[in-house]
Structure 1
Amino acid sequence: MSALQGKTAIVTGGGSGFGAGIARAFAAAGARVLVADINGDAARAVAAEVGACDATCDVSDNASVGQLAYVAADLLGDVDIFVNNAGITHLPAPMEDVTEVDFDRVLAVNVKSVYLTARHFVPAMKARRSGAILNIASTAGVSPRPNLNWYNASKGWMITATKGMAIELAPHGIRVNALNPVAEETPLLASFMGGDTPDLRAKFLSTIPLGRFSTPADLGAAATFLCSDAAGLITGTALEIDGGRCI
């Protein structure tokens, strides 16, 4: 219950889904949390629920991420933990049929955001010689699914970026890890499956040995551990939270 006592944390995309689950778990573990989301109302709702603070942020926009850093300094002071959770996908389609607009948006939110948050938050962590960064990737980056090619690629990039960040930032006392969840029951589920019917669900669940989707609570528990001092020797890992799907 006190694994993150005295820590400060930012969770992007914290207004729903996995991000909300991570924010809840961090708050329950004693952290002071800033819930950031492009949907300001959603961020405020989760923050009010867990006793956190909130901010509206478009993680694909440099000015918006810069403003988040300013707000965080005012509300939290030093930031000990940063969770890059915000992410989107494109609808299932042959790779050549995905529009350029959708491609650019997936890369901006899933890839460029990690670069932008590093620009604005890593320097202060380096100065303090401490910090934990957690990137929420996906099993799609390990075991790609047909017709989600550019989403798969964005999550594979995030896994590689996690390892690169970890080796570069280790001398500065900063740990960087990732989580690879399987799909969860959110509005994005229909996008991953190409619809949401009992047959499609059964087909997808048949690929998960433990027979269920990831939940926000699953991600929250794993995130709390990886960002706590108990995981002090763990960096550069991409932990699969997938019920065995990637075996």
Structure 2
Amino acid sequence: MTASPSPTAPWRATVLTLFPEMFPGPLGVSLAGRALAGGIWSLEARDIRAAATDKHRSVDDTPAGGGPGMVLRADVLAAAIDAAAIAPERPKLLMSPRGRPLTQAFVRDLAAGPGPLIVCGRFEGIDQRVIDARELIEVSIGDYVLSGGEIAALVLIDACVRLLPGVMGKLESGTDESFSDGLLEYPQYTRPQLFEGRAIPDVLTSGDHAKVAAWRHAQSQALTEARRPDLWAEWQARQPREQSRTSQKAPKSTTDG
């Protein structure tokens, strides 16, 4: 059952879908579910088919120019978007494999705002004219194709909700993890000390916080270089600029050379 939107919630997600029963789904449990029940955020799933005008509640038609499948009609989807009556400052997103990548930086921006309207496509896609007319921002969660945008919307919402104030137990939980500084997260360990002959690295039980921090940073670098050369190249490219900014901010020496 979809939770009713709360007018006092600081962050809200409005989802347009042909399958509103898919929401809240996994967003109704764990951290996101507790935050939803607690009013930290709100969710409204709206049925696109409610905007259809014929007796069969048709929402799609054959693609212009021929080809397989069906395409969501511009007039029906536009009416559904307009009926949602969202505030102008809320972004309007379309989950699409051809969209801009959903990065952690983008997630942080969305989480810091009022919350998006998210359109979930189906069939072969949606009429380009409604994308242009309603200025939808296409967003992709990866280079693969799903049956529809609902699962992608769940991913996007979960990524945002966990960053909202009061959702995670500690602020560090959201800042000290993969992609927070452009690197993958370092390996994590906990008790027991010895597991099937494998011990927790000594540095993590040394009590030396500086050494622990250095070890974790080195591990993040090594993992990123090995697994995500694209991120590693971007991170390396930023280092000279960041070091230059740091040196420019350093106080000038008062001692003559």
Work out whether the TM-score is over 0.5: no
Greater RCO, CA 8 A, separation 6+: 1
**Which structure has the highest helix share of the two?**
1
TM-score by length of 1: 0.30
TM-score by length of 2: 0.29
